Amino acid sequence: MKANPEIRERDFDEIDLRILDCLQRHGDLSNVELSARAHLSPAQCSRRVQALRRRGAIAGSVALLDRKQLGLEVLAFTSVTFDKAQYRRMSDLHKVIEGFPEVLECYAVTGDSDYLLKVVAPSLEAYGAFLNSKLIQAPGVISVRSVVSFDVVKSTTALPLDTA
């Protein structure tokens, strides 16, 4: 694996990058399996992983669930515009959005809107109810625009650690 120069500047060596790449693609590997892929002894590999966790390079470990298998058929990207006159209430809006389980991700963005949300729902009707009864009622929200996904072309959590 050829390391991205910007990543190398943060003092991650080739072994660190190999471990990180393996873990982000196969988070359920045992330490023995990971050590074999990283070409290290299990003890060395375990020490490296713990060091990467302490440095914050590994933020956590999760199981990625299939939303459709769990009945969440609708995936939408929702743009939210905030009333600039209510700037003091922005933290209120953040707290409300954090409390919506339907919102998987929320980003402050540039452009025509202020926030971009990734939202899931079991149906279009449920998504509409979320918009009307929750999101539009949130403090400072003045407009909402949605784009509903009909197919996922690419979805990954793997960061680009190499340039190859």
Residue-wise pLDDT for 70-86, tens only, equals 999 999 999 999 998 87
**Long-range interactions of 42-45: CB distance < 8 A, separation 24+:** 45/19
- Burial readout 51-75 (b: 16 or more C-beta within 10 A, e: otherwise): ebeeeebbeeeeeeeebeeeebebb
Residue 9 has pLDDT above 60, yes or no: no
- Taken in order of first residue, the domains within the chain and their CATH numbers are 5-55 (1.10.10.10), 74-149 (3.30.70.920)
Euclidean distance between CA atoms 114 and 109, whole angstroms: 5
One-character DSSP codes across 15-60: HHHHHHHHHHH-TT--HHHHHHHHTS-HHHHHHHHHHHHHHTSS--
pLDDT by residue (tens digit) across 105-116? 999 999 999 999
The answer to pTM > 0.95 is: no
115-156 pLDDT per residue, tens:
999 999 999 999 999 999 999 999 999 999 999 999 999 999
Q: What percent of the chain lies above the pLDDT cut of 70?
A: 93
Buried b (16+ CB within 10 A) or exposed e, 108-139: eeeeebbbbbebbbeeeebbeebbeebbeebe
pLDDT for the residue 85 = 84
- DSSP state, residue 154: -
pLDDT digits (tens, 9 = 90+) for 10-40: 689 999 999 999 999 999 999 999 999 999 9
Q: Which run of H or E residues covers position 90?
A: helix 90-98
pLDDT in the model for residue 1: 47
